[in-house]
Amino acid sequence: MVHDSTDNPDDRARKARAAAAETPQQGLAAPDLDPAAAGGDDEDDALLPDILEESGAVGEEPLATGHEAIERAVRLAPTSPGVYRMLSANADVLYVGKAKNVKKRLSNYARQSAPQPARILRMIAATVTVEIVSTNTETEALLLEANLIKQLRPRFNVQLRDDKSFPYILITGDHWAPQILKHRGAQTRPGRYFGPFASAGAVNRTITALQRAFLIRSCTDSFFESRTRPCLLYQIRRCAGPCTREIDFGGYTTLVREASDFLSGKSHAVKQELAGEMEKAASELEFERAALYRDRLAALSAIQSQQGINPRTVEEADVFAIHQEGGFFCVEVFFFRTGQNWGNRAYFPRAEKTFTPEEVLGSFLAQFYDDKPPPKVVLLSHEIEESELLANALAIKAGHKVEVTVPKRGEKKELVAHALTNAREALGRKLADTATQSRLLDAMATTLSLPHAPKRIEVYDNSHIQGTNAVGAMIVAGPDGFVKNQYRKFNIKSEGITPGDDFAMMREVLERRFKRLINPPEEGAAKAKDDDFPQWPDLVIIDGGRGQLNAVREIFTNLGLTQVSLMSVAKGPDRDAGRETLFMPEREAIKLEPRDPVLYFIQRLRDEAHRFVIGSHRKLRKKDIREAGLQEIPGIGPSRKRALLHHFGTLKEIERASIADLGKVPGVSAESARRIFDYFHPQPG
């Protein structure tokens, strides 16, 4: 989708979100099911007594208690559209639903004589109160429902997980020489936004190719204004050099227009224009200029070849295909904009196995577009119950008509079939990975004599250079592998810590982490993002030997932590992988065979923690370098700093340079070159 940042439709979606903000507890719901009409599950019904016991409902007759709570709500419920929330005794939101007639919908839940599936009965049994928010229309109710589900993640709703924002390409509009860059988040900066793209990698590759094709600058405005000579990007023909007027205003404006046209779907016209200019230059014997047009055409071809399938008849559409297997769901999403394929992404929404693919897909779509601009066409693999209502809601958000359809023939049907194949394959890989991970966790529990297979493993590591820029990090793993939305970094804040004191840094990290668990904030901010994933670890792993283990054990004792298993991993001689020693409290050291899968799994956990903490440390250090500048390097004064910047163009290029390249700069000796290189490439502690 291509749109200007000045487009800011004041629609009902904003009102719906405002309504959500005013309610005491917010959340969003999955497609409503009429419990009176829903079919049951014989297996679940047979297990109903056990299920009700696990639901956490209070009282000897939890179903009767739940029905009474809903009946009380029915007496006060409006007959107009709205959103209702079912709450447990702990005030946790169990379910968020919407209805055209709230009173009628809640009455269906209250009817004890009607046959209902076990999932609905579990929800009713755990319900102690119902909250209702009225809306003007059913469309507003749908928008509010989706918003609340994403915020509250109710247990009995379909939940969209891993909902990261999508990256866009932005060509700025607040400077005479527009900049091209990757953008995430609110689209507040003036300019033209092109997207969404499925991944940051797809955006970066496209921007790199666009720079080769259209020579648009990617540098910041402050860097642009400070230039006195063209930078390296100009030298390698990836920028036209507007900063030093290597190209005039009219010429640069033409380049920006061509780039915008290409991203807007006019790629054929742009390529024809460039081909004509190349032939003209060649006929005038200006072969260097002709070669420049040739390279630009090649860059455009590279962009389109990387995009895979590019439809002929679909200008702008999102394609959704859902596949169900083994009680799990996968939704594959493809983005087509301006007739080009801008990537795809697989989602694995959380939903009970009793949901049908149509129900999961309908709820997924409402949540997916809660914070994203809809395209003109949404193509689906399955018919959803409220497609017309969803189309109206998306049209309100987008400010234009949105078609939601299941194609029956032609190229659109082929696109859906292709997405369905990807969904099937992605879910197959996911199930295989999950099975492998579960076997590893079971084997780890056996090898380490843990009480049960760990559902949450936390691994901690520290990084610093002579005590500076100290940072600690925690990575998390579970039955589905690494859980990256649970990763945390800890900037070391204690002023009394001796530089390089790893024990003191680890103490600060662990105390900050577990004190927050022991005494969570009032609003439950410490609660895990996914209700199925525990917030307390079963196993904590640290890098080090018996000494580090005893130090951490003392910290746990002071905090009163007894239910968490603890292990340290000491590197082998000469840091050889496969010769690590494992230490656990009150047990002999454990040495596993180098080819043992459990040892390999522990190595992966430790290496992931090391990767994450080193990355966090480098970001912190680079920030300090940017703020301090080159003058922080001993022996590098203003004259050498200017010489380095004139030679390399940017601080980033200086950081990339080898010692030999640094030594070629006038005024920089071999010793200074080594000092500069060591400054940018330190060995972390």
pLDDT class of 668 with cuts at 50, 70, 90: confident
Q: What is the CATH number of the domain that holds 642?
A: 1.10.150.20
| Claim to verify: residue 467 and residue 610 sit in the same structural domain | yes
Q: What is the pLDDT of residue 257?
A: 87
Nearest Cα neighbor of 130 from 170, 82, 191 is 82
pLDDT confidence band for 309 (50 / 70 / 90) = low
Read off the pLDDT of each residue in 622-634 and give the average, rounded to a whole number.
57
DSSP SS3 for 176: coil
Q: What is the CATH number of the domain that holds 343?
A: 3.30.420
Single residue among 128, 152, 176 that ends a domain in this structure: 152
| pLDDT on residue 383 | 92
Strands 403-405, 377-380: pairing kind:
parallel
Q: Please check whether residue 633 is in contact with residue 623, taking contact to mean a CB–CB distance below 8 angstroms.
A: no
Local confidence band at 322 (pLDDT 50, 70, 90 cut-offs):
very high
Q: Are 208 and 236 in contact (CB under 8 A)?
A: no
**Spatial separation of the C-alpha atoms in residues 486 and 582, rounded to whole Å:** 25
- 553 φ, ψ (degrees, to nearest 5): -60, -40
Tell me the angle at which helices 410-448 and 597-628 cross, rounded to the nearest 10 degrees.
Answer: 110
| Of the residues 377, 410, 428, the one at which a domain ends | 428
Is residue 437, in this structure, part of any structural domain at all?
A: no
Same domain flag for 81 and 148: yes
Listed range (203-212, 295-304, 331-340) with the worst mean pLDDT: 295-304
pLDDT range class, residue 434, cuts 50, 70, 90: confident
Is 163 within the bounds of a domain?
A: no
In this predicted structure, the answer to whether residue 136 has a pLDDT above a threshold of 80 is yes
pLDDT at position 330 is 93
Q: Which residue has the tokens 């702990």?
A: 90
Per the structure, the complete domain to which residue 113 belongs is given by: 2-152
**What's this model's pTM, rounded to 2 decimal places?**
0.64
For residues 286 and 199, membership in a common domain is answered with yes
What is the count of structural domains for the chain? 5
Average pLDDT, the chain: 78
Q: Are residues 189 and 284 in the same domain?
A: yes
Mean pLDDT over 387-402 rounds to 88
Nearest one of 521, 532, 536, 523 to 91, comparing CA atoms: 523
Judge if 466 and 604 occupy the same domain: yes
Q: What pLDDT digit, counting tens, does each position of 52-87 carry?
A: 444 444 344 678 888 888 888 888 888 999 999 999
Looking at residue 55, its pLDDT comes to 40
Examine the domain organization and report whether 127 and 187 are in the same domain: no
Q: Do 332 and 240 share a domain, yes or no?
A: no
- Of the chain, the percentage scoring pLDDT greater than 90 comes to 14
Beta strands in 508-564 (DSSP E): 539-543
Regarding whether 461 and 605 lie in a shared domain, the answer is yes
Give a yes or no: residue 97 inside a domain: yes
Q: How many CB atoms lie within 10 A of CB 675?
A: 17
Give 334's strand partners.
319, 344
Q: Are residues 616 and 633 in the same domain?
A: no
What is the pLDDT at residue 83?
A: 92
Please check whether residues 16 and 141 belong to one and the same domain: yes
Does residue 592 belong to any structural domain of this protein? Answer: yes
Residue identified by tokens 């390279």 is 295
Residue 643 lies in a domain: yes
pLDDT digits (tens, 9 = 90+) for 39-51: 333 333 333 334 3
Report the CATH number that the domain containing residue 497 is assigned in CATH.
Answer: 3.30.420.340
Confidence of residue 24 (pLDDT cuts 50, 70, 90): very low
Is the pLDDT confidence value at 525 over 50? no
Residues 583 and 675 in one domain: no
Does residue 448 form part of some domain?
no
pLDDT at 35: 36
In a domain, residue 157? The reply is no
Instruction: Say if residue 331's pLDDT is above 90.
Output: yes
Q: Is residue 273 part of a domain?
A: yes
Q: Are residues 298 and 359 in the same domain?
A: no
